[in-house]
Structure 1
Amino acid sequence: MSAHENLLAPLEKFGSFQTRVVIVAYLTAIVAGPNIWMTVFVVYTPPHRCYIPELDDGNETSEVDYVVVPSNLSNSSVARYIPVVDGNLQKPEWSSCTRYNESTSAGQGNVSVVSCDRGWKYMTGENVITAVSEFDLVCDKSWLAPLVPSCLMFGLMAGSFLGGILADRFGRKKVLLGALVIMCASLSISAFTPSWIGLHVLTFFIGLGGVARTSILTILLSEITPNKIRYKVTVAHILLMAVGSCMLPLMAYLLPNWRHLYGAVGLLHFLVLFPSFIVFEESPRWLLENGKLDEARNLLQKIAKMNNVKLDEAKLLELGRDRETRVNLEAEKKQRGRRKLSYLDLVRVPFLRKRIIILSIAWLAVNVSYYGVSLNANNLGGNRYLTFFALVSVELPGHILSYFTIRKLGSRVAFMIFSSVCGVFILAVPLLQAVDDTAVIVSNVIGKLFATGTLSLLYAFTGELFPTVLRSQSYGVCSVVSRVSAVLVPFLLYLGMLPRNVLFAGNQITANAGYYGRCKIAKQIHHKS
């Protein structure tokens, strides 16, 4: 216990001061909940094909004919212009990146295809306008779509690394308010960005500000609340972020234009920004530990007055003017600095090295499952809004279930059960894709439930496996590894969705050699036309 610990008595009562801070903190958590998942709807790729003036100028193609290849191609006007290809499930689909070369003579035996040089036609029956359809991030530019959530993950990685460092250096309040401003500004500006480059850059800052807000606010809450309820307050903060995530599908449904969605979420951040500037105060513990004794004295007097707690005025006066107190404080900081260890200490000791390697692999695998299932919501079939709601709503029972399981069975057994069940249901997804969309969705939802529980377990016991002086370093290493895997997840999903029957060669997309043998009917329709 430090020499000034007895001066923090006002913080050991949950009074008016803590109530105000906690209420505003919880509001920011609910508002920030949608941030990490917004890219699911922003980079949604609607079904599309090449733009054909003869079909699309003033005419609306039937949605069924547009999405589903009819069994009798002679009844389809689309078949005269668009090839039929095998989709990811070996089901016939209209080609999304090629069209028949209109200069090809109908009497020739060969039918050549060319890329969509006139743009694309998107099936937006829901009046959906996404960044993909607006900026045409398809075909040769399709890799730019998964880069958006990857930029978000890069932002999360940078925020995880910089947030704690800046908060320790400049204080909790300044960095927290700065993170809120970054989120509010990035979201609002994104609604007006004229190019996909701006979207990618701003998405990075949304992630950076979001994770910095979460981590610093969690620290601040833990430093201003009594020990007996500290854990409950911080856990509720995380759970309310999940509640905010559940609002996103409804917002995306009501605001199908991605710019309107960004603007609405940015407005919500703007509304909580003002009370945040008014209510949030610096952590008295940080002020004391960094020698800002006059500021600490004034803040403690304010908190004591709000919480109706009596202070020892003599000690407060001594804190503000006694030089010996300052000298003792500096000596205490230097002593802590001598005891501080580095990340290298995690690999110097054999048993610690073994633990950090195993835990890093575990964090990597769990994050791939956690983010992979959620970011893949658009490709699971069914109503994508309801599917995503199901995937995010199971986070609440996932956290709660992991809490009770670890108390009953212990961390090791609980982790084995949760990770095993998660793996089984996620591995079952590709086997169920040819069976039924509902089975695929249910399997993903159960997998997400146990992935959330597994992630919660890792947060709970990772620090317990290391000495106190290396606890923060262990979390830091695992957090960086998990962010690296999260960055790769969108591209893993992208590779899984690439058409199996096309080859990409620069800007030209040509059909696979086996394509013509599978499309004889389409060729005949084209020749007869």
Structure 2
Amino acid sequence: MQFLSNWLSCSVMDFFPNALECRVAFWSQSLPLLLQWNLVCEDDWKVPLTTSLFFVGVLMGSFVSGQLSDRFGRKSILFSTMAVQTGFSFLQIFSTSWEMFTVLFLIVGMGQISNYVVAFILGTEILGKSVRIIFSTLGVCIFFAIGYMLLPLFAYFIRDWRMLLLALTVPGVFCIPLWWFIPESPRWLISQGRYEEAEVIIRKAAKINGIPAPAVLFDTLEMQDSKPQQQQKAILLDLFRTRNIATITIMSLLLWMLTSIGYFGLSLSTPNWHGNAYINCFLSAVIEIPAYVIAWLLLRSLPRRYSISGTLFLGGGVVLFIQLVPTDFHVLSVVLVMLGKFGITSAFSMLYVYSAELYPTLVRNMAVGATSTASRVGSIIAPYFVYLGAYDRFLPYILMGSLTVLIGILTLFLPESYGNTLPENFEQMLRVKCFRNGQQTTGVRNSKASPKILVTPL
């Protein structure tokens, strides 16, 4: 299996006999950019570092985006961070060095995740219940996959990296007119006491939908009752306050991080597969659509632990099997990688639902934030798994497959939340399966419970 068929060996021995030989490989279709800044041989470590620093920006953006949108509003932060992503992507075109390109790329990562998160929040707050479920499940995920599919198409027809960056900034410019069509979140306006503005938006929505609005939307008593109440505040240490909670948190952090390594590792390794790198990247994006649909169906009808661990076993198992495929079975190798990507993507898309169902209301947002942060750490590490392929073409797949199977086994020891009401306090939290001593407290069973949210992994 020629996974490195698109890579060229970097050796100067033929031209300079007294030089030291460089045995590290690099992707031939990136030659203009790599050679322009000498990102080969002893400096080839800069290539995965560039991607890792982008994900460092994603990590930083995920910390601040929610706080900024809570303070300044969903709409303003959405378009501000979109401007950051578009503007700094445009500035990358004029990069004169690897250092300049990388710093700008980090800022692009901050803007990208920020407008993604805020757009998701805004959509869930302004849409009606019937549309909100579809938007927050299949809508977000599938349109993410569509954007993913468009990327290799752009890259195929635009081979110059500066022109490619220019083309990728155009969609951001086209989003400017949306400012006059997308309203601010009425929920956020109400939380800020801006009832008149919220009423204007609600009445306009009612008119568009042909629904008569009440003469009075907010009376004085309701406005007084809606003032923020003093609530108990949670701290990060609450996620480790007991042995059971600490075990759930640690296992959840590992689940998110290792699943993220598998997802981004396979996504970033497409140039190493046999065949055309652009087609491989496109197929890697296409496979995500059925993965999201299957994940949605599994969440509606099957237990969480078995759904997540089963898809992880599928993804990790077929990736491990790649090393056993004969070298001339190129198509089979790519099919196995696609199946691996399918399984890991399905599992990844179910983690938001599962994590939210494990924790009580007081720390639910904090828990989901902490575990999703672990996935950012995994995305930072993932490029170096791909980088190991320059030394042994099977090593990245052995490592990713082994870790994915391992975390699939670990998932079986987590509590099962399917059919249970969401816990309101720590006493209602389910117990880890390996804890046999003590009373196991469960929520009220509800066989018709359905997932509340399904978010794509970024």
TM-score by length of 2: 0.78
Structure 2 residue 148 is the aligned partner of structure 1 residue 255: no
AA matched with 1:351 = N
Which range moved further: 251-260 or 437-446?
Answer: 437-446
Which structure has the higher relative contact order (CA within 8 Å, separation 6+)?
Answer: 1
Tell me which residue corresponds to 1:194. 96
Deviation, structure 1 residue 114: 3.6
Tell me which residue corresponds to 1:244. 147
Q: 2:141 touches 2:292 (CA, 8 Å); kept in 1? A: no
Task: Provide Cα deviations, 1:422-455, integer angstroms capped at 9, x if missing partner.
Answer: 1111212334374533332221111000010010
| Aligned pairs (5 A) from 1:321-336 | 322=220, 327-330=224-227, 333-335=228-230
Tell me which residue corresponds to 1:271. 174
Tell me which residue corresponds to 2:186. 284
Change in 2 beyond 3 A, CA 1:223/1:424 = same
Structure 2 residue 327 is the aligned partner of structure 1 residue 413: no
- 2:48 & 2:202 partners in 1: Cα distance? 48
- 1:437 & 1:187 partners in 2: Cα distance? 36
Structure 2 residue 233 is the aligned partner of structure 1 residue 340: yes
Residue of 390, 400, 413 corresponding to 1:497: 390
Residue of 107, 113, 126 corresponding to 2:19: 113
Structure 2 residue 256 is the aligned partner of structure 1 residue 363: yes
Task: Provide Cα deviations, 1:396-443, integer angstroms capped at 9, x if missing partner.
Answer: 001111222233332111112111111111212334374533332221
Which range moved further: 398-407 or 443-452?
Answer: 398-407
Q: 1:45 touches 1:132 (CA, 8 Å); kept in 2? A: no
Q: 1:155 touches 1:205 (CA, 8 Å); kept in 2? A: yes
Secondary structure of 2:265's aligned partner? helix
Q: 1:367 touches 1:486 (CA, 8 Å); kept in 2? A: yes
Count of residue pairs brought into register by the alignment = 388
Task: Provide Cα deviations, 1:14-67, integer angstroms capped at 9, x if missing partner.
Answer: xxxxxxxxxxxxxxxxxxxxxxxxxxxxxx99755xxxxxxxxxxxxxxxxxxx
Q: 1:100 touches 1:113 (CA, 8 Å); kept in 2? A: no
- 2:109 & 2:277 partners in 1: Cα distance? 23
Deviation, structure 1 residue 480: 0.9
Secondary structure of 2:229's aligned partner? helix
Change in 2 beyond 3 A, CA 1:164/1:431 = same
Secondary structure of 1:462's aligned partner? helix
Deviation, structure 1 residue 380: 1.6
Q: 1:45 touches 1:130 (CA, 8 Å); kept in 2? A: no
Secondary structure of 1:194's aligned partner? coil
Residue of 39, 54, 61 corresponding to 1:159: 61
- 2:6 & 2:98 partners in 1: Cα distance? 17
Change in 2 beyond 3 A, CA 1:417/1:194 = same
- 2:385 & 2:223 partners in 1: Cα distance? 55
Change in 2 beyond 3 A, CA 1:478/1:220 = same
- 1:189 & 1:257 partners in 2: Cα distance? 16
- 2:326 & 2:53 partners in 1: Cα distance? 29
- 2:234 & 2:379 partners in 1: Cα distance? 28
AA matched with 1:113 = A
TM-score by length of 1: 0.68
CA RMSD of aligned residues (A): 2.7
AA matched with 1:303 = A
Tell me which residue corresponds to 1:223. 125
Tell me which residue corresponds to 1:140. 42
Q: 1:191 touches 1:262 (CA, 8 Å); kept in 2? A: yes
Which has the higher Rg, Structure 1 or Structure 2? 1
Structure 2 residue 5 is the aligned partner of structure 1 residue 99: no
AA matched with 2:388 = L
Secondary structure of 2:13's aligned partner? strand
Residue of 190, 193, 206 corresponding to 2:108: 206
Q: 2:27 touches 2:271 (CA, 8 Å); kept in 1? A: no
Q: 1:398 touches 1:452 (CA, 8 Å); kept in 2? A: yes
Tell me which residue corresponds to 1:448. 341
Change in 2 beyond 3 A, CA 1:310/1:443 = same
Deviation, structure 1 residue 265: 0.9
Deviation, structure 1 residue 305: 3.6
Deviation, structure 1 residue 355: 1.2
Change in 2 beyond 3 A, CA 1:365/1:433 = farther
Residue of 83, 89, 92 corresponding to 1:181: 83
